[in-house]
Chain A
Amino acid sequence: MLYDIFIDPFVQMYQMPDFFLQVLWEGFVAGILYALIALGFVLIFKASGVFNFAQGIMVVFAGLTLVGLYENGVPAFVALALTIVVMGILAYGIERVVMRPLVNQPDIILLMATIGLTYFLIGFGEFIFGGEPKRMIAEELWLPTGSTAIEMGERGLIILQHIDIAAAVIAIIMVTALGIFFNKTRIGRALRAVADDHQAALSVGISLNQIWAIVWFAAGLVALATGIMWGARSDVSFALEIVAFKALPVLILGGFTSIPGAIIGGLIIGFGEKIGELYWGGLVGGGIESWLAYIIALIFLLFRPQGLFGEKIIERV
């Protein structure tokens, strides 16, 4: 028993290095994708303190809009542009109808509002696009398909999917772009001011409503990118909404307010999950992926209750 837990997995890693590298690669890709979803959460939480549960359904909604438009004869890139417009309208609508009247409510009320939004978008999305899973138009968007196998001499081979590489590249570009946007532009600085203190930001003439609409729009763009990537890996369907739950441990691990935290948390969870499932999962019957991420995050939390990169919580009576 002890041998199975402490020694055998490492022996396996050593004996099948090609497989171990493949697992690491899968963990990396999964981590990047989790980080992308987590990024959507962080953006909104940073600027408005709303824990946006609807990010998962926004991913589905963005993907469905894109594919739905394409299926109705709109060229792929026009559809992409139109989807961005739709996400903009959605962001404005959410800000106007849901967020603005709920300013200053406790966290839990805002959380519930986003779950209500999730229900609404599920019904709305299915009403318009139907419930069938749809094929993501990856090729039409000039995303690479197919795979490359890297031979490792006699030790086997590693298969890299081009779409996964593209996902990693796009995620890195998005994070960098968001980083520059937050740190270097006027709106980005205003965003950070809002994140620090709503009232102080208001008093120096920053429009909260405008900032929130922008943040929701940015989260919508992240959702679109996530939708394309996840959709290309499986299919665009409502079952995809559940991937949002995958992002939550990433969030608590990285901290709700940190963009680098989302990336690093995503990678830790991605690697941890795959390695845990493949080398230790078999001992307890497999399928531990569904909760392992939460347990990893929980253990981290016990030592750092605000996450790895979160702001230190100071409590006063």
Chain B
Amino acid sequence: MFYREAGQFKTSYKADQALFPILQDKVGMAVILAVAFVLIPLTANDFFLTSIMIPFLVFSLAAIGLNVLTGYCGQLSLGTGAFMGVGAYAAYKLTTIFPDVNVVFLVLASGIFSALVGAIFGLPSLRIKGLYLAVTTLAAQFFLEWCFIRIPWLYNYNASGAIEVPTREMFGVIVSGAEATPIARYFVVLSVVVFIAFLVANVLRGRIGRSWMMIRDMDIAAELMGIRPLQTKLMAFAVSSYICGVAGAMMVFFWLNAAEPSSYSINLSFQILFMVILGGLGSLGGAFMGAAFIWILPVFLKFIPGTIGLEVGAETVQHLTFMIVGALIIFFLIVEPHGFARLWQIAKQKLRVWPFPY
């Protein structure tokens, strides 16, 4: 009824394989982009932008990155946090070496370094599979974390061992550093995320994306059909790490302003993995939904008791947050192991047939 694709005929393969083959999707997408680019900047306050929207977008991007690897290529990774860190440190080094180059360009370029690192740590995936591979990606996590601490060149020999983001301008507007306004940072992050998300969506429906999914569904069968597992898997590792690296660089440049090695710890890897699983493996929209859930829910829980006048100690709130998040994760896994993306599909189906049950 509300979501009816009947009557929308395709006359060419091209139209049939378009990114948004259905009118409703096009309209929906346009509305979302309008909200993101116009409505939110007009109405939101600083707290909403800096503590909710910017981290949400950064995490969404990281979740897309991990989704490429885990959701589309079937390789479980627990090293996401470290790959994000590689992007952050690379971007920091690049901007100190080339202070005059546009910072957004450098952020995008920094992903290349993390792609290289990711591909190297992806090498064992040819021989090692499943949970064993997940544990070996922890080697990447701990080794890279160690590098961030022990190679002082990476943080320009700062006594504190942290990287601090210098002020950088773009088109006359300050976009990074403490003086950048939340609006400016928000626009940069949003543009990058939208750009990469569209790019990934296109890659996924093409030859490369399909070969990833073949490897995921059955690697031996894929190999028999002429997919080279080494190249395909390494490509997935590289693309995934590239996206994660860009997300990590944005995390420090447009959100936190400074980062210690502990910002890119194993906990971050878990957080991103949660977003991917809860959002739905193999779904880009799911990555956004998962990020929204995992990031916004704790913020929400943290600040709600105070605003409705409940006197609860700060630490009690923290404990309850942990318990609620943990319980909800288990709850959602039980109720819908395919994640929010699946829930959304069910919702679409309901909208399609409403008011009839079938």
Direct contact of A and B (CB under 8 A): yes
B320 engages A123 (CB within 8 Å): yes
Stretch at the interface among B111-119, B123-131, B236-244: B123-131
Query: Quick one: which of B335-357 are within 8 Å of A by CB?
Result: 337
Q: Pick from A109, A294, A302: contact of B142, CB below 8 A.
A: A294
Q: Known contacts being A297-B136, A317-B224, is A115 close to B131, with CB within 8 Å? A: no
Q: Given the complex of chains A and B, what is the CA–CA distance between A123 and B330 in angstroms?
A: 14
Bound CA–CA A295/B333 (angstroms): 32
Partner of A120, one of B266, B315, B330: B330
Q: Are B326 and A117 in contact (CB under 8 A)?
A: yes
- Given pairs A108-B70, A120-B330, A123-B326, 10 additional interface contacts (CB within 8 A): A98-B330, A102-B337, A112-B329, A115-B274, A122-B326, A123-B324, A251-B135, A290-B145, A291-B139, A301-B128
Q: A123-B319, A287-B146 are contacts. A302–B127 as well, Cβ < 8 Å?
A: yes
Q: Given known contacts A123-B322, A251-B135, A287-B149, is B124 in contact with A298 (CB within 8 Å)?
A: yes
Q: A113-B330, A119-B329 are in contact. Are A252 and B150 (CB under 8 A)?
A: no
Whether B333 and A102, one on each chain, are in contact in the complex, defined by CB atoms closer than 8 angstroms, is yes
8 A Cβ contacts from A292-312 to B = 294-295, 297-298, 301-302, 305-307
Q: Which of A97, A98, A301 contacts B132 (CB 8 A)?
A: A301
Render A147-175 as a binary contact track against B, CB cut-off 8 A, 1 for contact: 00000000000000000000000000000
Q: How far is the CB of B133 from chain A (nearest CB, A)?
A: 9
Binary contact track A169-212/B, C-beta < 8 Å → 1, others 0: 00000000000000000000000000000000000000000000
A286 to B328, CA, bound (A): 41
Among A6-14, A68-76, A124-132, A258-266, which stretch is in contact with chain B? A124-132
Residues of A within 8 A of B139 (CB): 291, 294-295, 297-298
Contact between A126 and B333, CB atoms less than 8 A apart: no
Q: Cβ of A27 < 8 Å from any Cβ of B?
A: no
Nearest residue (CB) in B for A100 is: B334
CB-based contact B330/A256 at 8 Å: no
Whether B323 pairs with A124 at a CB distance below 8 angstroms is yes
Expressed in whole angstroms, the minimum distance between the Cβ of A107 and any Cβ of chain B is 6
What range describes how many residues of B lie at the interface? 35 or more
- CB nearest to A301 among chain B residues: B128
Q: Do A305 and B127 contact each other (CB < 8 Å), given the known contacts A248-B135, A317-B224?
A: yes
Write out the residue numbers on chain B whose beta carbons fall within 8 Å of the beta carbon of A120.
322-323, 326-327, 330
**Complex contacts, B138 vs chain A, CB 8 Å:** 245, 248, 294
29 examples of A-B residue contacts, CB within 8 angstroms: A98-B334, A101-B334, A105-B333, A106-B337, A109-B333, A112-B277, A116-B326, A116-B328, A116-B333, A118-B326, A119-B329, A120-B327, A121-B326, A123-B319, A124-B322, A131-B315, A252-B135, A256-B132, A287-B146, A290-B142, A291-B142, A294-B138, A294-B139, A298-B136, A301-B124, A305-B127, A315-B220, A317-B221, A317-B224
Q: How far is the CA of A120 from the CA of B330 in the complex (A)?
A: 9
- Residues on A close to B: CB < 8 A? 51, 97-98, 101-102, 105-109, 111-113, 115-124, 126-127, 131, 245, 248-249, 251-252, 256, 284-285, 287-288, 290-291, 294-295, 297-298, 301-302, 305-307, 313, 315, 317
Set of chain A residues within 8 Å of B274, measured between Cβ atoms: 112, 115
A297 CA to B134 CA, complexed, in Å: 13
Q: Which of B48-93 contact A (CB under 8 A)?
A: 70, 76
Chain A residues, CB < 8 A from B128: 301-302, 305
Contact A126 B319 (CB under 8 A): yes
Residue on B with the closest CB to A313?
Answer: B129
Set of chain B residues within 8 Å of A118, measured between Cβ atoms: 326
Report A-chain residues with C-beta under 8 Å of the C-beta of B322: 119-120, 122-124, 126
List residues of chain A with CB within 8 A of the CB of B130. 107
B321 within 8 A of A: yes
A105: min CB distance to chain B, Å: 5
B316 (CB) vs chain A CBs: closest residue: A127
Q: Is the CB of A294 within 8 A of B327?
A: no
Taken together as a complex, chains A and B put the C-alpha atoms of A280 and B145 apart, in Å, by 19
